[in-house]
């Protein structure tokens, strides 16, 4: 992201726009029984609702975002609840992650198609990826929205398969979130799976 993107996100978060809350995503909370392991990564964490939730479950969480404003709010909320989160300000277009490092990676409403192979490789064998993004149906509600930030039907599934992940759950809409595509995928424990 360019400096203007950082400034734009800082302004949005400073004004309480966008995902300016501390709630975890429902896909994560509804599938708590799948959450095992010790290390988690929250990509484009915003105010850190998912990172805070995972830390409360005992995960060691790295939370990455471009916005210093969002990270400061996440840090304040973590302190308020006595939770430890490693917050990192980074440009996700230039960011690099250690291979086979995480048991769980979450990406909610941040779309960078080129990031999927890196995230797949960052999972330990058996590790899970939870991701939710808006799809093209969002244009029905917001015709002015930049379509390049929206998924085609089936695209998230294809991206995960190309990254070598096993699909556990995929939907291009749910009754309560008709504009969202979601996936839960696992890095196979054996490369030939």
What is the domain partition of the chain in residue ranges? 3-186
Q: What is the pLDDT of residues 136-151, one digit of tens each?
A: 999 998 999 999 999 9
Cα dihedral across residues 136, 181, 87, 79: positive or negative: positive
Which residue, among 118, 98, 2, 95, has the nearest Cα to 45 in the 3D structure? 95
pLDDT category of residue 45 using cuts at 50, 70 and 90: very high
- Fold exhibited by the domain 3-186: Rossmann fold (3.40.50)
pLDDT digits (tens, 9 = 90+) for 10-21: 567 666 666 666
Instruction: Supply the pLDDT for residue 91.
Output: 85
Contacts of 7 (CB under 8 A, 6+ apart): none
- Phi first, then psi: what are they for 39, rounded to 5°? -115, 135
Contacts of 115 (CB under 8 A, 6+ apart): 43, 92, 107
Q: In this model, does residue 193 exceed pLDDT 60?
A: no
pLDDT at 112 over 80: yes
The mean of the pLDDT values for the chain is: 89
pLDDT at 154 over 60: yes
pLDDT at 65 over 50: yes
């Amino acid at each position: 992201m360019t400096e203007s993107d950082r400034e734009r996100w800082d302004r949005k978060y400073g004004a309480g726009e966008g995902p300016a809350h501390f709630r975890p995503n429902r896909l994560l909370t509804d599938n708590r029984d799948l959450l095992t392991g010790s290390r988690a990564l929250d990509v484009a964490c915003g105010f850190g609702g998912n990172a805070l939730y995972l830390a409360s479950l005992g995960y060691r969480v790295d939370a990455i975002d471009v916005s210093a404003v969002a990270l400061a709010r996440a840090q304040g909320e973590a302190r308020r609840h006595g939770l430890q989160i490693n917050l990192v300000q980074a440009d996700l277009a230039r960011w690099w992650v250690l291979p086979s490092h995480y048991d769980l990676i979450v990406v909610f409403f941040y779309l960078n198609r080129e990031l999927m192979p890196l995230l797949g490789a960052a999972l330990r064998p058996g590790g899970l990826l939870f991701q939710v993004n808006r799809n093209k149906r969002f244009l029905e509600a917001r015709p002015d929205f930049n379509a390049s930030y929206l998924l085609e039907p089936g695209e998230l599934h294809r991206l995960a398969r190309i990254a070598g992940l096993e699909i556990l759950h995929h939907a291009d809409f749910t009754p309560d979130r008709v504009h969202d595509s979601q996936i839960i995928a696992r890095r196979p424990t054996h490369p030939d799976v």
